[in-house]
Amino acid sequence: MTDKKDIFLLSRIADACNKNFEPRFFDFYDEVFQQKIKDTIKHSGVPYLFFGGHPDAERKMLCIYPDYVSSEDLEWPIFAIEFDKIIPIDHRNVLGELMHLGITRESIGDIDVAEDKVQIIAHQRLQDFLWINLNQVKGREIKTTIKDCQQIQSFEKSFKRMSVVVASNRIDGIINKIWGFSRQNSLILIKQGKVRVNYTEINKNDFRLKSGDIISLRGKGKAKIIGMDERTKKGNIRLEVDRYI
């Protein structure tokens, strides 16, 4: 979403905090925007909760609710549509098909692509539309199944384990090793605000990474620093990295 849309949405959420008479459900947001929402409403004293269909979901729906309502009683307007993975497809193929149908990204939660099946988590308002219109991906016909919120499964995230040798733990020298482009391109991406660490934008190329940090690179994906070994004989640092695929 653009900055103007962000400001408008945060204003709507703040307004909902002042008119908190019944549970109000919003759309799905990524981790970065979830943090912006938390910063917006943290001093309001209004109960709120994020949920994405299962405990391991990354994209989550926001609910603001009155203090006399228990979070356990919330009826989340979330469902999933599932189909067999009959040809090699990835997250981008599925998302592209949804965008082609005119669906906004905020209406969709996680898209989980496993070895043998695909699960798309979405807002309840899309259930009939997707049931009727989502009938192919990557040019191949698919047969879909609808799941209600209680039937949604948690999928293990797929990643590629990498061993990376770098001169230091500076972010500009690490992201180019993980994603395979020049250090100059790393500097450009940082300057453009496309790099985040633990979902916070980083604008300094000498930012120091540590074990456990999650790097998000807009348009490229995410990676997690699993470990930083001691320096090699040449004085370099060996990193163990999980790059999500």
Give bridge partners of residue 222 from the DSSP assignment. Answer: 216
What percent of the chain stands above pLDDT 90?
A: 69
**For range 12-23, the mean pLDDT:** 85
Q: Is 78-151 the same fold as 3-73?
A: no
pLDDT at 209: 95
**Of 3.30.460.10, 2.60.40.10, 3.10.290.10, 3.90.1150.10, which CATH number belongs to 159-244?**
3.10.290.10
Q: 214 with 199: CB under 8 angstroms?
A: yes
User: Would you identify the CATH topology of the domain 3-73?
Assistant: Ribosomal Protein S8; Chain: A, domain 1 (3.30.1370)
Asked if residue 133 lies in contact with residue 77, where contact means CB atoms within 8 angstroms, the answer is no
Rounded Cα–Cα distance for residues 40 and 21 (Å) = 19
Summarize pLDDT for 40-90 with one digit per residue, the tens. 888 888 999 999 999 989 999 999 999 999 999 999 999 999 999 999 998
Pairing of strands 136-137, 108-113: unpaired
pLDDT, tens digit (0-9, with 9 covering 90-100), for 151-182: 999 987 778 899 999 999 999 999 999 999 88
According to CATH, the topology of domain 78-151 is Alpha-Beta Plaits (3.30.70)
Predicted pLDDT at 1 = 45
Average pLDDT of 144-152? 96
CB-based burial, 98-114: b 16+ in 10 Å, e otherwise: beeeebeebbbbbbbbe
- Distance CA(99)–CA(122), nearest Å, equals 13
- The DSSP code for 219 is T
Q: Rounded to an integer, what distance in angstroms lies between the CA atom of residue 80 and that of residue 164?
A: 37
* Domain ranges (residues) in the chain: 3-73, 78-151, 159-244
Strands 221-231 and 214-217, by their bridges, are antiparallel
SS3 content of the chain, % helix, strand, coil (to 5): 30, 35, 35
Of 104, 108, 97, 1, the residue nearest 52 (C-alpha):
108
Collapse the DSSP code of 111 into the 3-class scheme (helix H, G, I; strand E, B; otherwise coil) and give the result: strand
Spacing of C-alpha 222 from chain mean position = 9
